[in-house]
Amino acid sequence: MQNHKSAIKGILTFFALSVWTGTIAQQQQQQQQPQKTPVEIAAEQADRLQRDLKLDNYQVFVVDSTLQTNLAGVMNEFEQMKKGGMQNPESYREVQKLWQKKTDDTFERIMTLEQFDRYLRISGMSNKERKKKLEEVKKRKESK
């Protein structure tokens, strides 16, 4: 019985050490990887959207430019909030929503209805919100 308890204790200790060293190694690896710039992030996202939505060259240019501008804008605003001592997560969410709306508004203007629908799906918008948004977009595009 004592050997059984000792073996279990040894296994648990080994498991705890493995998890702990794995966590430290992961943290060190993350610290060594340089953070991507808004330009790099925007380029990756524009490439992904080009593939997923079959964007033409003009659309890719606008998507990339919009993402570069808006990612830099939200990052700068977050940095200013952080420097100002802002700690309320809701304030950060509101800023993120504002910049997301700017991005969505631009994408809505340059994408077909089908592309924009697919973009909203990829973005993770709920079906209810997506359908409501698409109806609004249809009305705006029809009134032009």
Q: CA quadruple 119, 123, 126, 132: dihedral positive or negative?
A: negative
Give residue-wise pLDDT tens across range 31-81. Answer: 667 888 888 999 999 999 999 999 999 999 999 999 999 999 999 999 999
**Maximum mean pLDDT: which of 2-11, 12-21, 32-41, 95-104:** 95-104
Q: Are 54 and 91 in contact (CB under 8 A)?
A: no
Give residue-wise pLDDT tens across range 96-130. Answer: 999 999 999 999 999 999 999 999 999 888 999 99
CA distance 70 to 78: 12
Alpha helix stretches (DSSP H) within 54-126: 57-83, 89-110, 113-122
* Token pair of 52 as six digits: 């997923």
